Amino acid sequence: DAGVTQSPTHLIKTRGQQVTLRCSPKSGHDTVSWYQQALGQGPQFIFQYYEEEERQRGNFPDRFSGHQFPNYSSELNVNALLLGDSALYLCASSLVGRVYNEQFFGPGTRLTVL
């Protein structure tokens, strides 16, 4: 049973650049949620994709955008990177229609902005 996968594992960018992070959900799941985890903090919800549309969004600026593909995989794009965007970016997958929403995380992408 394939778990959630993310790429790349680590990424170093400079301020003002753009970055794309990728996620493949757990086998059988159809929904992808993205979270940002700063050092010493709990994960913060960025947005969620289901049926190739953004369904819900947290308190993040429009510099953060995403996409979901027909195979349920997803991308997170961040434009005009700021130093404060340095964090662990987590992708979580789940299955819509489940009464209880268990979300399973991938290994994450560590983004460092210099």
Minimum separation from the CB atom of position 16 to another protein (A): 27
Total residues at interface with another protein (CB under 8 A): 29
Q: Judge contact between 52 and 70, C-beta under 8 A.
A: yes
State which of positions 31-50 bind another protein (CB under 8 A).
31, 33, 35, 40-45, 48, 50
d(CA 17, CA 113): 9
Minimum separation from the CB atom of position 40 to another protein (A): 7
d(CA 113, CA 78): 11
Complex with another protein: residue 4 or 113, whichever CB lies closer? 4
d(CA 17, CA 93): 27
d(CA 101, CA 94): 7
Binding site for another protein (CB under 8 A): 31, 33, 35, 40-45, 48, 50, 55-56, 58, 88, 90, 92, 94, 96, 99-108
